[in-house]
Amino acid sequence: MPKRVTRIEQPKAAYRKRVAAYCRVSTDHEAQLDSLENQMETFRFRAAQRGDWDLVNIYADEGLSGTSLKGRLQFQQMIADCEAGKIDYIITKSISRFARNTVDTLQTVRELQGYGVQVYFEKEGIDTADSLSEMVLTIMASFAQEESRSISENVKWGIRKRFEAGHEVKVPLYGFYHTDDVLFLIQEDEAAIVREVFERFVHGEAPAVIMDDMIARGVKPPAGKCWKRLQIDRMIKNEKYAGDVVLQKTYIENHLTHKQIRNHGDLPKFRVENAHEAIVDRHIFEQAQKIMAMRNVAVGNSTYPYGEMLRCPLCGKALVHGSLNNFYYDGEKIQNGGWGCYSEGGCGDYLIIQNVLDEAMIKAYEEKYGEKKETVEFYWLDDTVEEIQLSEDRVTIKWRDGETSVVEMDFSEKRYSPSRYSVFYNDYLDRIRCGEKKNKYKFLMGLTPAAVQAG
Ligand SMILES: [Zn+2]
């Protein structure tokens, strides 16, 4: 699979910067192609274009072929000026002009960041102020050092550097092991558990249920003596199981403190897709993320399994899920709650019991695919359904293949009796008491205002 690196966009703040430029030409053929004077002119032009830059100095080293920093006097002066607090930002043409090897580049950038100075590498488009991942810089610097290396090798190499630098957890991630040379090799017995957790979660099992089963079977937990709920959650959210790596989830505050800070958007994050062999199929991983998001909606308001598929037929607002703890269905407590028009700005006039909708969906699926489903699960909804349209007594399903099914929902033999504690019911009664929308209610629950008043 092709590797793809995507920058995860995050907001950044703008401020006025004291900018220095650094130029360098070596004695070899580069000199003819791009003279020092040309480079300097370019930077003057750039700075003049920018309203938020004050160009404080241009540092230039010439005629040096050396690979070390030692002979570069202007460079040394620039670092000293950074230390003295005269500079906020350095622009330079490329990583290879800035330093001749990875170690120099990274060490210098770290040192400069320690002084609060960021660097912009024009050619690579890396701005350490808003886009330094130490990792990405590592990768870029290693390109400059050895362009023939594959991206994959560079990523792995970068990760290994982070391991060496202590920035990554040295304990291998559950399901993986690593050797000195290769990271993220699959540990088959653990990987089988990871796959099972994902499969079960995607098929609708709650993390707590999966956890209980793991404990009952005596499966060894990822860490500690006993499985914990959070371990299941973290496993499901971990992109490494899909073969990806997100760079810069945490970063080091500066070279003085070495404090590790969680990146909440201060610096960009990068996702490297297919960085290593996946344990879990990408499609399953992505469905798991959607389900996780549905389950994580505001406390007690899970939107599983329909997510945002359901809209109010009266006003078009998204329906929200409620537990309907005090409603009854055929004389029994309602198990899966209902979906009502109770989102902000919703009309509040529509409510459907999930079991009734589920029955209709399962019926439609069976008619179309000839396969009986026991329950409605997000994974097959997501795979097959483009849109669900509700009305008073029927559900119209637009399938992803372009076909449409219409299924009647039969309420004739159902009995719903709300208890006096229901939020929905109280709201309903309040509206009737206040004389609002008396005859407009279209609850799909067999309820009419008369029935409520009688009961
Ligand atoms: Zn509505």
Question: Comparing 69-78, 289-298, 388-397, 430-439, which segment has the lowest mean pLDDT?
Answer: 430-439
Which of residues 96 and 185 earns the better pLDDT score? Answer: 185
pLDDT tier for residue 405 given thresholds of 50, 70 and 90: very high
Neighbouring C-beta atoms of residue 244, cutoff 10 Å: 20
pLDDT for 355: 81
CA of 202 from ligand 1 middle (Å) equals 30
Question: Comparing 142-146, 200-204, 213-217, 419-423, which segment has the lowest mean pLDDT?
Answer: 419-423
156 vs 176: CA distance, rounded Å? 14
Residue by residue, DSSP assigns 294-361 as: HHTSTTT---TTTTT--B-TTT-PBPEEE--TT-EETTEE-SS-EEES-STT--S--EEEHHHHHHHH
CA of 356 from ligand 1 middle (Å) equals 18
CA of 172 from ligand 1 middle (Å) equals 50
Distance between start and end Cα atoms, the chain: 63
CA of 283 from ligand 1 middle (Å) equals 33
Nearest residue to 320 (alpha-carbon basis) of 300, 336, 342: 342
Helices 188-202 & 207-217 angle (0-180, nearest 10): 140
CA of 392 from ligand 1 middle (Å) equals 12
Highest mean pLDDT: which of 2-11, 52-61, 330-339, 363-372?
363-372
Antiparallel, parallel or unpaired: β 260-262 and 269-273: unpaired
pLDDT higher than threshold 80 for residue 28: no
Which of residues 455 and 425 earns the better pLDDT score? Answer: 425
Amino acid in position 224 = G
CA of 428 from ligand 1 middle (Å) equals 14
Antiparallel, parallel or unpaired: β 332-333 and 338-340: unpaired
CA of 390 from ligand 1 middle (Å) equals 11
DSSP 219: P
CA of 443 from ligand 1 middle (Å) equals 11
Q: Are 10 and 268 in contact, with CB atoms under 8 Å apart?
A: yes
445 vs 447: CA distance, rounded Å? 5
Highest mean pLDDT: which of 24-33, 309-318, 330-339?
309-318
pLDDT tier for residue 283 given thresholds of 50, 70 and 90: very high
Neighbouring C-beta atoms of residue 155, cutoff 10 Å: 24
CA of 311 from ligand 1 middle (Å) equals 8
pLDDT higher than threshold 70 for residue 431: no
CA of 313 from ligand 1 middle (Å) equals 7
pLDDT higher than threshold 70 for residue 387: yes
Highest mean pLDDT: which of 194-198, 204-208, 273-277, 374-378?
194-198
pLDDT for 244: 85
CA of 83 from ligand 1 middle (Å) equals 62
CA of 322 from ligand 1 middle (Å) equals 15
CA of 312 from ligand 1 middle (Å) equals 4
CA distances from 437 to 201, 322, 348 (A): 42, 22, 10
> What is residue 334's three-state secondary structure?
coil
Kindly give, in sequence order, each residue whose CB lies less than 8 Å from that of residue 165, ignoring residues fewer than 6 positions away.
none
Q: Which residues pair with 252 in a beta bridge?
A: 260
Nearest residue to 321 (alpha-carbon basis) of 341, 292, 344: 341
Q: Are 96 and 144 in contact, with CB atoms under 8 Å apart?
A: yes
pLDDT higher than threshold 80 for residue 131: no
Nearest residue to 201 (alpha-carbon basis) of 242, 232, 239, 244: 232
pLDDT for 134: 60
> What is residue 294's three-state secondary structure?
helix
pLDDT for 325: 63
CA of 97 from ligand 1 middle (Å) equals 62
Highest mean pLDDT: which of 187-196, 273-282, 289-298?
187-196
CA of 414 from ligand 1 middle (Å) equals 23
| E strand or H helix that includes residue 119 | strand 118-121
Amino acid in position 93 = K
- Token pair 């991630």: residue: 173
CA of 346 from ligand 1 middle (Å) equals 5
Instruction: State both tokens at 214.
Output: 């793991």
Q: Which residues pair with 4 in a beta bridge?
A: 273
> What sign results for the dihedral spanned by CA atoms 362, 365, 369, 375?
negative
253 vs 274: CA distance, rounded Å? 28
Amino acid in position 3 = K
pLDDT higher than threshold 70 for residue 256: no
Nearest residue to 415 (alpha-carbon basis) of 308, 300, 330: 330
CA distances from 166 to 139, 160, 251 (A): 17, 10, 11
CA of 342 from ligand 1 middle (Å) equals 8
Q: Which residues pair with 334 in a beta bridge?
A: none
Superfamily of domain 176-294 in CATH is Putative Large Serine Recombinase; Chain B, Domain 2 (3.90.1750.20)
In this prediction, what percent of the chain has a pLDDT beyond 90? Answer: 22
pLDDT higher than threshold 60 for residue 29: no
pTM beyond 0.75? no
Q: Where exactly are the structural domains of the chain? A: 17-148, 176-294, 299-454
pLDDT higher than threshold 70 for residue 263: no
pLDDT for 236: 94
pLDDT for 286: 93
Interval 378-390 mean pLDDT:
92
Question: Comparing 96-100, 204-208, 367-371, 422-426, which segment has the lowest mean pLDDT?
Answer: 422-426
- Token pair 């040309």: residue: 38
CA of 327 from ligand 1 middle (Å) equals 20
- Mean pLDDT, the chain, integer: 73
Nearest residue to 126 (alpha-carbon basis) of 97, 147, 168: 97
Residue by residue, DSSP assigns 52-66 as: TEEEEEEEEEES---
CA of 427 from ligand 1 middle (Å) equals 14
pLDDT higher than threshold 60 for residue 163: no
| E strand or H helix that includes residue 35 | none
CA of 273 from ligand 1 middle (Å) equals 41
CA of 321 from ligand 1 middle (Å) equals 13
CA of 419 from ligand 1 middle (Å) equals 23
- Choosing among 3.30.450.70, 3.40.30.10, 3.30.1490.100, 3.40.50.1390, the CATH entry for 17-148 is 3.40.50.1390
338 vs 358: CA distance, rounded Å? 10
CA of 78 from ligand 1 middle (Å) equals 64
CA of 181 from ligand 1 middle (Å) equals 59
